[in-house]
Structure 1
Amino acid sequence: MPMLPVPAFVALVLAYIAARSLLSDGRPLLVAFLLACAAQSLLVALAGGYGIDWLRPILPVSAAVIPPLAWITFRDALVSRLKLRAMSLHLAAPAFILFCRVFAPETTDVAVTLVFLIYGGAILFQLRTAPDMPLARLEAGQIPVVIWRILGWALIASALGDALISLAYMSGNEGWAGWMITVSSSLILLLLGLLSGSPAASGAEEREPGAPAEANREALDEDTEIVARINVFLSRDPVHLDPNLNLSRLARRLHLPEKRLSSAVNRATGQNVSRYVNAWRVRHACKLIEAGSTVTDAMLDSGFNTKSNFNREFRRVTGAAPSEWRSSEKTPSNVTAMTTENPPPQNFADEGREAG
Structure 2
Amino acid sequence: MLLIFFNVLKQTRDSGSPPNIAFLLLILMSALQSTLLGLRWGYNLEAVRYVSPIVAALVSPLVYIGVSEFVRGRRSMGAKRLLLHLIPAMAIFIMLLFWPLGIDLTLVAIFLGYAVATLRLTWRGEDVLGYTSMEDIVPVYRAIILAAGALLFSAVVDTLVYLAFLWDRSGYAATLLSFGDLIVLLILGGAAAAASRGNVTEAGPEPEPEAKPEADDAAGETLELVNTMMRDRKLYRDANLNLDRLARKSLIPARQISQAVNTVVGQNVSQYVNSFRIAEACDLLKNTEKSITEIMFDVGFQTKSNFNREFRRITGITPKDWRVAQARK
> Which range, TM-score by smaller chain?
0.7 to 0.9
Contiguous gaps of at least 5 residues in structure 2 = 201-211
Aligned residue number for residue 128 of structure 1: 123
Whole-angstrom CA distance in 2 between matches of 1:235 and 1:56: 60
Indicate which of 35, 60, 82 corresponds to 1:67: 60
State whether structure 2 residue 88 is matched by structure 1 residue 93.
yes
Indicate which of 312, 316, 319 corresponds to 1:315: 312
Indicate which of 156, 177, 184 corresponds to 1:188: 184
Mapping of residues 16-35 of structure 1, within 5 Å: 16-25=5-14, 26-35=19-28
Distance 1:44 1:309, change over 3 A: same
Whole-angstrom CA distance in 1 between matches of 2:196 and 2:64: 17
Contact 2:115 2:151 in 1 (8 A): yes
Aligned residue number for residue 261 of structure 1: 257
Aligned residue number for residue 53 of structure 1: 46
Whole-angstrom CA distance in 2 between matches of 1:217 and 1:199: 34
Give CA deviations for 1:334-353 in whole Å, capped at 9, x if unaligned. xxxxxxxxxxxxxxxxxxxx
Contact 1:131 1:263 in 2 (8 A): no
Give CA deviations for 1:200-240 in whole Å, capped at 9, x if unaligned. 76369xxxxxxxxxxx9971111111111111111222221
Whole-angstrom CA distance in 2 between matches of 1:294 and 1:95: 57
Aligned residue number for residue 111 of structure 1: 106
Contiguous gaps of at least 5 residues in structure 1 = 1-11, 205-215, 331-355
Aligned partner letter, 2:87: A
Q: TM-score, normalised by structure 2?
A: 0.87
Aligned partner letter, 1:157: F
State whether structure 2 residue 218 is matched by structure 1 residue 222.
yes
Contact 2:214 2:256 in 1 (8 A): no
Aligned residue number for residue 281 of structure 1: 277
Aligned partner letter, 1:92: I
Contact 1:78 1:202 in 2 (8 A): no
Contact 2:107 2:155 in 1 (8 A): yes
Distance 1:253 1:218, change over 3 A: closer
Distance 1:197 1:131, change over 3 A: closer
Q: What is the Cα deviation at residue 57 of structure 1?
A: 2.1
Aligned residue number for residue 267 of structure 2: 271
Whole-angstrom CA distance in 2 between matches of 1:198 and 1:317: 24
Aligned residue number for residue 236 of structure 2: 240
Distance 1:59 1:116, change over 3 A: same
Aligned residue number for residue 297 of structure 2: 300
Contact 1:43 1:55 in 2 (8 A): yes
Aligned partner letter, 2:182: S
Q: TM-score, normalised by structure 1?
A: 0.81
Whole-angstrom CA distance in 1 between matches of 2:181 and 2:323: 50
Whole-angstrom CA distance in 2 between matches of 1:181 and 1:222: 54
Q: What is the Cα deviation at residue 29 of structure 1?
A: 2.4
Contact 1:138 1:203 in 2 (8 A): no
Q: What is the Cα deviation at residue 56 of structure 1?
A: 0.5
Give CA deviations for 1:251-275 in whole Å, capped at 9, x if unaligned. 1111122212211211121111100
Aligned residue number for residue 34 of structure 2: 41
SS of the residue corresponding to residue 4 of structure 2 reads: helix
Aligned residue number for residue 347 of structure 1: none
Q: What is the Cα deviation at residue 112 of structure 1?
A: 0.3
Distance 1:58 1:312, change over 3 A: same
Distance 1:18 1:295, change over 3 A: same
Whole-angstrom CA distance in 2 between matches of 1:201 and 1:116: 24
Aligned residue number for residue 163 of structure 2: 167
Q: Higher mean Cα deviation, 240-249 or 119-128?
A: 119-128
Question: C-alpha root-mean-square deviation of aligned residues, in Å?
Answer: 2.3
SS of the residue corresponding to residue 123 of structure 1 reads: helix
How much identity, in percent, do the aligned residues show?
32
Whole-angstrom CA distance in 1 between matches of 2:300 and 2:7: 28
Contact 1:147 1:201 in 2 (8 A): no
Q: Higher mean Cα deviation, 98-107 or 310-319?
A: 98-107
Whole-angstrom CA distance in 2 between matches of 1:200 and 1:47: 30
Distance 1:181 1:159, change over 3 A: same
Give CA deviations for 1:143-186 in whole Å, capped at 9, x if unaligned. 32222111111110001000101111111111111111111111
Distance 1:237 1:311, change over 3 A: same
Distance 1:218 1:48, change over 3 A: closer
Contact 1:141 1:309 in 2 (8 A): no
